[in-house]
Structure 1
Amino acid sequence: MALAGPIVAGLFLLAALYCGTDPFNHRPMAKFPGFEVYPVELPPWSELPAARDAENRLQKAELRFVNQVQGPESITFDPLGRGPYTGVADGRILFWNGESWSDFAYTSQNRSGLCDPKPSLFSYLENEHICGRPLGLRFNKKTGDLYIADAYFGLLKVGPEGGVATPLTTEAEGVPFKFTNDLDIDEDGSIYFTDSSFNFQRRYCSFISPEF
């Protein structure tokens, strides 16, 4: 028992050295040797908005579209204010015209009967890499084009009339995307988007640890 303390301490020391030196390049940014970190200055708490919703209106909000769409991810409105548009579990992007939902766009170039609606969300996981899973949607307000972050097909774009989206990129600096997640577009038209994993696709993330 007397040796247990030094052994545990030694193991912690080795773990700290491993994490600090990363001899096998396991850290998330190892594949991006030119990556640089920049500090972000946050305002002091005293300058943050202090307003609160005294009426708690979000809790009183109306729940819409129950049992009409499966697994909606991200909503957006087009430059004319129409919508919402949302990506759903079977890979479609749907449009609400004020009365009903209709198909607007698809991210997969190879949709088939495998992508038909299913009884539960988990039923889609097996074929998500074929049918697509649009997670992030944003319209370019100047062009009317819809930009899409699909978990499997990377960054795509479709015109104002919809249809099959055109792939834009599936990698950055030679590193393939594994889990493209969300995006935003600034006033200049520059696109910012996230890739949630270097190692695992979305369909495996229900069965692995959070260490992506």
Structure 2
Amino acid sequence: MPSKPDLSIKESQGRKNKKPRKWVRRTGLSLLAVIFLGVVIFMLIPSPVQPAKWLAPSAPSFEQAGPWQQNNKLSSAELVTDAPKFPEFITFDKEGTLYTGDSDGKIYKVAFDGKGNPQKAQLYADTKGTPNGLMFDASGNLIVTDVQKGLLSVDPSGNVTVLADQVDGTPIYLANELDIAKDGTIYFSDTSNYGRVTFKEIAENKPHGRLLKYDPATKQTTVMLEGLYFANGVALSADEDFVLVAESYHYQLTRYWLKGPKKGTSDIFADNLAGFPDNITRDYQGHFWVGLFTTRIPFVDQMHGSPWLAGMMAKLPQSLLSGASAPVKHGLAVELNSQGKLIGSWHDPAGSLYGVTTAVNHDGYLYIGTAPGGSQGVHRVLLTK
């Protein structure tokens, strides 16, 4: 006759099995309570900014025929030098030597041989800051806009002098890019009184940038234009009747009139660009080349239409938002004529060259610079007619 099961043992095992289940259930409920409480606290914390609503225009399509249509013109880019990791801006001296800065403060120069082949990069100077804009004045000094130091002058021996770090009793918060007129006047951008690039400013969607002017004769700096949405690239027209400044966060180029009946006023030169315009350069035809650091980010455009969402995003730590504002891996530069009409766009849809800040038309090549977050080194592509 089979033995009867020991019910006391089963009951004991049942009690033991119930204990882990209760512990898991209680732990899960506790975690949910903590998460819920954290969400409530996050929602109740005031946002550090009061965002302004903006209905961003629909981005141009890369699929439709026209000047924005996608191509592979940048995909064949060759490396000129990888000495500077992030060559924000590129300029040339009268002999055709290339100069560019890096985010660690160093400025390099690259000579070319008789066949146009780049030689090994050489260290030219060190600003101990972050040099962005570079251009030679009539005396052979390299004028530099340094985001940490202000407006600088570097003599041929590499000695660095501060020309301006204040205007009207306030700091020059983030000197970014420049151009120099024939009379020596320097026009340059002060990107934002935030003093650094931060997602909070994108979320806030309010203008904090300025266009400044430095007079080398009087050594005085004045404000030309205020209320710019992340003031960036700067370029004079061929006749110097106006100066352009890029407003990166509103996808547009603004024109400030220096001569003529509109002198002292501003208007929009080009708008609804397909990305965030960075630097502007002018070529021998009087055309403007613009590097677009990233193509449009749909989430950012949607966020601008919802101040509540933008305010929530601004609460998050910058470290968590770096991915949200990282450049799309799609290289892009554009050419505009002197009236602001888009002539054509240059793409690398594969993203081997991206985070484009500068496009310089020089001696049959288009030279490309980038910034942190993008690809590294100076590149160039052959310009074809």
Q: Which residue of 2 aligns with 1:167?
A: 162
Q: Cα–Cα, structure 1 residues 208 and 68, in superposed 2: closer, same or farther, change >3 Å?
A: same
Query: Structure 1-normalised TM-score?
Result: 0.56
Matched, 1:105 2:130: no
Counterpart residue identity of residue 145, structure 1:
N
Query: Quick one: distance in 2 between partners of 1:190 and 1:165?
Result: 19
Q: Using the TM superposition, give the Cα deviation of residue 67 of structure 1 relative to its aligned residue in structure 2, in angstroms.
A: 4.1
Identity %: 36
Secondary structure of residue in 2 paired with 1:93: strand
Which runs of structure 1 show a deviation greater than 6 angstroms over 4 or more consecutive aligned residues? Answer: none
Alignment-derived partner of residue 136 in structure 2: 139
In 2, distance between residues paired with 1:190 and 1:57? Answer: 38
Higher relative contact order (CA 8 A, sep 6+): 2
Say whether 1:86 aligns with 2:100: yes
Q: Give, in angstroms, the shift of residue 65 of structure 1.
A: 3.5
- Name 1:62's counterpart in structure 2: 77
Q: For 2:73 and 2:182, locate their aligned partners in 1 and report how far apart those are by CA, in whole Å.
A: 29
> 2:110 pairs with 72, 96, 103, which one?
96
Deviations 1:125-168 (A, max 9, x none): xxxxxxx100100111x211110000010000011x24231001
> What are the ranges of 5 or more consecutive residues in structure 2 without an aligned counterpart?
1-49, 53-66, 113-118, 209-385
Q: Are positions 1:77 and 2:89 aligned together?
A: no
Relative distance call for 1:58 and 1:162 in structure 2 (3 A) is farther
CA 1:158–1:66 in 2, change beyond 3 Å: closer, same or farther? Answer: closer
Q: Note the C-alpha offset of 1:186.
A: 1.1
1:208 corresponds to 2:190: no
Distance 2:143 2:73 in 1: 28
Distance 1:188 1:71 in 2: 31
Is the CA contact 2:81–2:121 (under 8 Å) kept in the aligned structure 1?
no
For residues 104 and 146 of structure 1, the distance between their equivalents in structure 2, rounded to whole angstroms, comes to: 10
CA RMSD, aligned part only? 2.7
Separation in structure 1 between the aligned mates of residue 82 and residue 131 of structure 2, nearest angstrom: 19
Richer in strand (by share): 2
SS at match of 1:71: coil
Shift of 1:68: 3.5
2:152 to 133, 151, 156: 156
Residue pair 2:145, 2:178 contacting (<8 A) in 1 also: yes
Q: How many residues align?
A: 134
Q: Secondary structure at the match of 1:104?
A: strand
| TM-score normalised per structure 2 | 0.32
Distance in 1 (CA, whole Å) between partners of 2:81 and 2:179 is 27
- Paired residue secondary structure (1:208): helix
Q: Distance in 1 between matches of 2:164 and 2:187?
A: 13
Which consecutive unaligned segments of at least 5 residues does structure 1 have?
1-14, 20-51, 109-131
What is the distance in 1 between the residues matched to 2:195 and 2:159? 22
| 1:80 Cα deviation from its structure 2 partner | 2.4
Residues 66/77 of structure 1: CA separation in 2 closer, same or farther (3 Å cut)? closer
Deviation string 1:33-90 (CA, Å, 9 cap, x unpaired) is: xxxxxxxxxxxxxxxxxxx7xxx784365332364421111000012222x1001021
Whether the aligned pair in 2 keeps the contact of 1:79 and 1:144 (CA below 8 Å) is no
For residues 107-130 of structure 1, the C-alpha deviation after alignment (integer angstroms, 9 at most, x for no partner) is 13xxxxxxxxxxxxxxxxxxxxxx
Q: Which has the larger radius of gyration?
A: 2
